[in-house]
Amino acid sequence: GNMMKKILILFCFAAGVCCPAHAATVSEDFTTSAHKDSIGTNADWDTTAAVLRLPSARSKLFEGEDSSQILFVNREAGWRFRVAVPGAIIGLGRYLPASDRESYTLNLWSDAGMNLATALVSGATGWAWADIEPVQLSTSSFYRVSVAISSGAVFSMPIPYENDYIKLSSACVSAGAEGFPSLSTGVIVGVPDILFRTNFQTHAYGRSKGYDSGTSRARYLSYSASHELNSGTINYEFSFSTNSILWYGWLDDIANYVSYRYVRWKAELTSPDGVQSPILSSITINSNSFPEPPPAVLPPEGFYINYTTPTLSWDEAYDPDSEFLSYSLQLANNSSFVSPLIDSSGIAALSLLSSGLSQGTWFWRLKAKDDYNDESDWSDIFSFFVDLSQPSQIVNLDAMTGFVNGEIKLTWTSPDDPPFDELAAYDIFYASFSFSSTELSSVNYLAGPSPKAPGNLENITVSGLQNEVEYFFAVRSHDAAGNVSPLSTFSSALTNAAPSVTVLAPSGGDMLSGNSDIVWNVSDPNAGDMLHDIRIFLSKDCGVTYALLHELADTSVDRWTWNTALSGNGAFFRLKISATDGGGLYGTSAETGDFSIDNANNAPAVSVRGPLAGDIKTGIISIEWDFEDSDFYDRVYFSVFISSCPAAGYQLLEEKLYFGEGLRTGSTSYLLDTSLYPDGGEYDIKVEVSDGLLSASSVSGQFSVWNVNHPPRSFSLLYPDDSGEVSMLTPEFRWEGSGDPDLASGDAVNYRFFLYSSTFPETVLLEVFPVFTNTYTLSDTSLLSDFTTYFWRVRAEDSQLGETLSCETFSFYVKWSEIICGRLSVQSPDIPVNTYIDAAEVSDALTLKADDAAEESPIMKIPGGSSYKVELKNSLNDSVANASAYTFNLIFSYDGLEVISPSTTKLFVLDEANNRWALVSGQQTDTENRRVTATVQGLSYFRLLNYAAPSSVAGDVKNYPNPFNPLLENTELVCVLSEDAALKFEIYSPFGELVKKFSASGQGNSTGLTNIFTWDGRNGKGAVVANGVYILHLTVKPLSGGEYRRRRLIGVLK
């Protein structure tokens, strides 16, 4: 019978559960604790009546505010609440009267003031709501709902709140607002922060979640509601959705309304009574679900058949609220179902037998109808193919010998298969005899390869066949509908066969000697087969046993030259030859008849390989030689002799050594104990070989014997001297290389170097072996410390473990903070650890420029000797360290230099910025020891100069060149000043006429500073002066006061 589905939806809270639409009636027990109020004191469940009543109590605004503050412009008013069970707020809204068309911002807050959600409502009269992302609420926290307002008057407007199912409203108490009591007449006992109560009109707004009707469409018949109206109204509306996400508009009537799968309802409850509100108990929705289109079963989609009466079958359509369904079916040869072959409805079964189908593509579809005559949509379109034609015969089957033994390769062209060209498989039949299409059950069968499109080359290799057998083959094809082609034409091929070999020479009765040709002929029954190798076997006992005589990789030859002497003499020889093809099959010739070999006797040969000339032998040695005898049956003997010198003759060591019969060629040896013979000498070995009739001999190179070892000769240490000082970063140690008495006998000497921090007790810092020469440079300076004494010695060791210790142990003192280089000694009291002073005599671009400047100076002269570059270096990596923070004491010897006077011999440091030598301040002259000493901060280039500082403010004025040619050059006027001064230059002719005058500022210091000025040989008018001697008057006025005059004659020669 008919079944109408009823949906009973209770007006429940967040804890309520909605069942699927096609399930039994939903029931809800409002007496359970799960349905307690989730908004604290603002609403209560009436567990007796099992309904939800709207709030009639009051609440507070934000904590810490008083009633006067809410009257200010742009304040937010609201109320505070806490839930008793977990819930979620999904929307915010407020009531907009007709006179209020403005927009309002509603906010949801945490109790701490964090904004959780914001909604903007406007533009409608009545209740306006805005959905928000769900905000989950905790039972342990307070929350606040507020509305942004622009004046105190709007406090009379209700501020709504929505949980999962219910929206509630309340209003603020506003002093002076019509219809509201004043604060003094408030209904709260005590002094609250702010009074808060419900408005005169209470309002509730409930909305269900979506319910599933069960299928894609449903007919909604009616609804009924159970509610109680003490005062006010309840309005119901319904909305539909295809996916429970996007919902369509609300309808107030759903009688016989066809819509989508999901349905939901909403109820709006209003009452002017602030105490008693309407009560909603349940809502029931009556609906019928449309059936879904039935799914097809047979034939499967895209299936091929070769008959015209297929049965079409399908599965039952899905309908959650109907027990009996009927079906409609259309079958046509076009997907638009124009003039269908079958157009049937009211089918009660799940299948239908068709007939009258022709070859081609067929399409079919289904739909279902329930008891209410509600029909599903047509199903998807299904298709299948009727193929009544067999594939074409294969006419070009070809069989050929495979590349591997027991294989034959087949090829053919894939045939046509009208009308669909859907080949599905190949059948291959074969046998070692000729057969017909009626004998297929008695021959071998093999499934062929997956078919390619018509016209393509197919191939398969049939394996596991017998060699040297002819096989016959035939092929047929199947299409996807099961049609079978005629049997193909037949083809046959021979599997791989072994090659055939015939020996042409020698023949039975032949007598062979020396080199003789063995000749043969090879053929192969398989055309194109390649030979792999040819082997020749020899028997010496009339064919009882055979041994491989020779193997040829070159299969193109038909003969091989045989040295019969290597096989011995005899009268019962036989040969046979085998050949192997590319597949590994081999064929062997018949044996030859017996033939003879007769060769003359040949002398054996011997060659001694060792000892070699110049060898030095010790202990037991091996005497080695090579030998050869071309006669197979000869037995060879060896005798070994030794000679200590050419004049002494040979002494027999061993006679008639024998190494086996038939060993025609090879190498062998004899062990000799050299300790039985004196060291030295000019020994040689002679080996004699004999076959009993003929003999030969060979002599080794001359060698010497050394069995008694002597230790290395004694030696002494050389450098550094005992108790000497070491200032180099990587000191070099040297000792005598006295050698070894056995060097001529091949002994070798290496050295072991020892470095000690103390000798009592002996504490080894470093041991190095082998040292190949009699010098060693210590590169790891981390082992040494400044101002420390160390000890060293060396041990000589030869190759035979002989040892000799140096005659003495030397000590040395590390003094990296002081170095002596040529005439210069540098010492520092405060350089850091892991640094040392390095000094070297230099003559580079920097010092050469400074020397040139000194030569041109009127107060300097180079006394000879070198410039020195002094640096502070890192002892760990030999890099230059910064020395500017450390003090250095310099001692410079001027003994042997061209010194004008000890008092004028001064120490200078390089001024690198100006390429000149600068006087070192604070220096002292030690005339007794002929040296100059000074203390400096940092290091650079240093050298000694003869230096005459001016005795007054200005020294003599000089010029260079003098005379000079003003047409080609200028002359430089040079003056040394000991302090800054103003200079006036006046140049006169020989007749006392003023030629030119100019002024300049001169610079000086206490050691004398050279000032250079230029005259170009022109007068005050710019004309070149005539040849002659001109007089320069220089007036010097120092800044400290006074005046000095100097005079100089200048020659002009053009």
Give me the CATH number covering residue 859.
2.60.220
Distance separating alpha carbons of residues 382 and 156, to the nearest angstrom: 66
557 inside domain: yes
Pairing relationship of beta strands 408-413 and 515-523 according to DSSP bridges: unpaired
Q: Are 161 and 266 contained in the same domain?
A: no
Pairing relationship of beta strands 470-479 and 423-431 according to DSSP bridges: antiparallel
Residue 848, H or E segment: helix 845-856
Q: Which of 251, 42, 34, 25 minimizes the C-alpha distance to 145?
A: 42
Q: Are 829 and 927 contained in the same domain?
A: yes
Q: Are 921 and 844 contained in the same domain?
A: yes
Q: Are 826 and 918 contained in the same domain?
A: yes
Whose tokens are 């369509």? That residue is: 248
- The three-class DSSP label of residue 34 is helix
The two three-digit tokens of residue 425, written as one number: 């498989």
640 inside domain: no
Q: Quick check: 529 and 496 in contact, CB under 8 A?
A: yes
Whose tokens are 């001169």? That residue is: 1002
- The three-class DSSP label of residue 35 is helix
Q: Are 63 and 193 contained in the same domain?
A: yes
The two three-digit tokens of residue 883, written as one number: 């020395």
Give the rounded distance of the alpha carbon of 222 from its chain centre: 69
Q: Are 840 and 864 contained in the same domain?
A: yes
880 inside domain: yes
Q: Are 593 and 515 contained in the same domain?
A: yes
Where does a domain end: 323, 353, 386? 386
Q: Which residues contact 717 (CB under 8 A, 6 or more apart)?
A: 733, 734, 735, 736, 792, 793, 794, 806, 807, 808, 809, 810
40 inside domain: no
Spans of the chain, pLDDT less than 50? 1-78, 84-85, 149-202, 274, 662
Where does a domain end: 289, 308, 326? 289
Q: What is the pLDDT of residue 630?
A: 72
Q: Which residues contact 471 (CB under 8 A, 6 or more apart)?
A: 399, 408, 430, 431, 432, 462, 465, 492, 493, 495
Distance separating alpha carbons of residues 620 and 1043, to the nearest angstrom: 105
- The three-class DSSP label of residue 399 is strand
Can you name the residues that pair with 561 across neighbouring β-strands? 517
Task: List the CATH number of the domain containing 740.
Answer: 2.60.40.10
53 inside domain: no
Where does a domain end: 351, 386, 421? 386
Q: Are 84 and 158 contained in the same domain?
A: yes
Q: Are 829 and 933 contained in the same domain?
A: yes
363 inside domain: yes
**CA dist 30 to 34, 46, 87, 265, 322, Å?**
8, 8, 17, 20, 33
Q: What is the pLDDT of residue 304?
A: 94
Domain that holds residue 1025: 958-1052
Q: What is the pLDDT of residue 1054?
A: 87
Give the rounded distance of the alpha carbon of 655 from its chain centre: 73
Give the rounded distance of the alpha carbon of 1040 from its chain centre: 77
Distance separating alpha carbons of residues 390 and 181, to the nearest angstrom: 101
Q: Which residues contact 1015 (CB under 8 A, 6 or more apart)?
A: 959, 970, 971, 973, 985, 987, 996, 1050
Distance separating alpha carbons of residues 274 and 270, to the nearest angstrom: 10
Is the pTM above the cut of 0.95? no
Q: What is the pLDDT of residue 919?
A: 87
Q: Which of 291, 297, 296 minimizes the C-alpha distance to 366?
A: 296
Q: What is the pLDDT of residue 912?
A: 87
Q: Are 278 and 328 contained in the same domain?
A: no
Distance separating alpha carbons of residues 616 and 891, to the nearest angstrom: 60
Number of domains in the chain: 9
42 inside domain: no
Task: List the CATH number of the domain containing 1013.
Answer: 2.60.40.4070
What is the distance in angstroms between the CA of the first residue and the CA of the last residue of the chain? 145
The two three-digit tokens of residue 145, written as one number: 């709902």
997 inside domain: yes
Q: Are 941 and 865 contained in the same domain?
A: yes
Tell me the one-letter amino acid at 696.
A
**CA dist 583 to 106, 471, 536, 586, 778, Å?**
93, 18, 20, 9, 72
